[in-house]
Amino acid sequence: MRTRRLFFALWPDDIQRDALRSIVEALGPVSAGRPVPTGNLHVTLAFLGAVAEDRIPSLRNIAAACSCPAADLVFDRIAWWPRARLRCLEASTLPGAFVSFAQAFHEDLRRAGFKIERRPFRAHITVARNVPSAPSDPSTLLAPGFVWPVRGMALVASTPTPDGSAYEVLERF
């Protein structure tokens, strides 16, 4: 059975992506590391890894049944995560309804046999990968925070390419 590398994500529409481009440009270039192309910016909701293709309908059913609430996420922190070596925008607090949704969604996926990380969900937008050290700019607060109006989620396939991963939105929920 063929497998696909899959994840659920908040996927920006064109207007939101333009706003993202502006905010990432305003952060300035990373001195080292690989910037995430604007077209790839997203918020991972649940990383599934390799999934057999015949399991995709089950993912569709779970996502369709577990509706993502309308919520405004505020990305207010510029962070560097040493283990993952990434620079990201992070939401320091999340609306309660969104946290409940994420927990219930992860639980539903686990119950159906999908392996989801046990670590608490941290909403973040990765802006650069392979960043070896914290940026010299000590500012870590983004003021005003970058608002992401959540109106649904997407099932996304990831394919490795020589230039980094290529993403394909399979379906929106």
Q: Site residues (CB under 6 A) for ligand ATP?
A: 5, 7, 44, 47, 117, 126, 129, 158, 160, 164-165
The smaller minimum CB distance to ligand ATP, of residues 95 and 164, is found at: 164
Measured distance CA(171)–CA(173) in Å, rounded: 7
**At its nearest, how many Å lie between ligand ATP and the CB of residue 37?**
10
The smaller minimum CB distance to ligand ATP, of residues 80 and 136, is found at: 80
**At its nearest, how many Å lie between ligand ATP and the CB of residue 24?**
15
The smaller minimum CB distance to ligand ATP, of residues 8 and 98, is found at: 8
Residues 6+ apart with CB under 8 A from 151: 68, 70
Measured distance CA(119)–CA(116) in Å, rounded: 9
**At its nearest, how many Å lie between ligand ATP and the CB of residue 6?**
9
Q: Are 154 and 169 in contact (CB under 8 A)?
A: yes
Tokens describing residue 56: 């995709």
